[in-house]
Amino acid sequence: MEKREREILQSLVASNREIKKLYDRHRKLEREIENFSRYTGYSGSASLRLAALKKEKLKNKEALVSLMSETTMN
């Protein structure tokens, strides 16, 4: 995310409950992914969980960017 986008996001988080919820979820997913990334070897189930977290994070980010676009266009 570019600097301008981050600035817009921060202003919208303060005023839009839905954007704040998506942003908080995005941050939580980032932390979970970071925790998994600390381990050098993964079990099969841990690898699947990591992949699922990354997919969810991407979907969440797409929803967040879309909502930001809608909000800033209005």
pLDDT in tens, 4-40: 878 888 888 888 999 999 999 999 999 999 988 777 5
The Cα 46–Cα 36 span in angstroms is 8
Whole-model pTM: value is: 0.79
Confidence of residue 74 (pLDDT cuts 50, 70, 90): low
The Cα 56–Cα 26 span in angstroms is 9
